[in-house]
Structure 1
């Protein structure tokens, strides 16, 4: 689907993405997982993450396309909803996501 109209997508590698999910808790919206590439995608309101400069994070807005799984696909392999899409819980607040990703990217994984 084309990004930039209804939502933008924030692409994050799986490990820092899972840490960000831990920080967000119930404040996360829907999250797509590419099980083959170990990538997570958050949906955020269009344009709200356009100026982000976070390492390992890519914001996909106008001019980008994102593969979106069917609503009921909640298990892999392949593309599925890591956090299922639900009415009123499609997008994540961009400010909260930025804070969670900043924390997740500076945190060191436990050994």
Structure 2
């Protein structure tokens, strides 16, 4: 990690969820900005919502402390949240990934179309606060309802 690349810490943190973090980092280095499958429920859970709710919620979260990594692709916005959140989360249209499930994640430097980071991880382990995410999703849903 001596390269000084700003994405090294994020890459190391994401790879720490893998059973072999060193191999994971090597695979990502060989593949460039490709996607890798990582297990949820190790370092984080993933909550995904339709982008019509997720993007406005993310807009609010980025203005508050308690925001964290978020990615988008396939009409969904996914939020990395603390382990255990997926088991306790209920909501229409919400997809969850926790222990026993695998998710495809892009390289932290990936900024292309397709699955991409909207807020890349910074390597600190910071995650989206579930209470703030719930509040932001309710706010987005209320605004969507009053606008329609």
Q: How does the TM-score come out when normalised to structure 1?
A: 0.85
The answer to which structure has the higher helix fraction is 2
Could you tell me how far 1:88 is from its partner in structure 2? 2.7
Structure 2 residue ranges without an equivalent (≥5): 1-37
Residue aligned with 2:62, SS = helix
Could you tell me how far 1:49 is from its partner in structure 2? 4.0
Aligned length: 108
Q: Which runs of 4+ in 1 moved over 2 A?
A: 87-90
Which residue of structure 2 aligns with residue 45 of structure 1?
Answer: 82
Given that 1:2 and 1:62 are in contact with CA atoms closer than 8 Å, whether structure 2 keeps it comes out as yes
Which residue of structure 2 aligns with residue 93 of structure 1?
Answer: 129
Change (3 A) 1:96 1:24: same
Change (3 A) 1:106 1:53: farther
Could you tell me how far 1:90 is from its partner in structure 2? 4.0
Which residue of structure 1 aligns with residue 60 of structure 2?
Answer: 23
What is the root-mean-square deviation of aligned Cα atoms in Å? Answer: 1.8
Higher relative contact order, chain-length normalized (CA < 8 Å, sep 6+): 1
Could you tell me how far 1:20 is from its partner in structure 2? 0.6
Larger radius of gyration: 2
Residue aligned with 1:43, SS = strand
Given that 1:14 and 1:39 are in contact with CA atoms closer than 8 Å, whether structure 2 keeps it comes out as yes
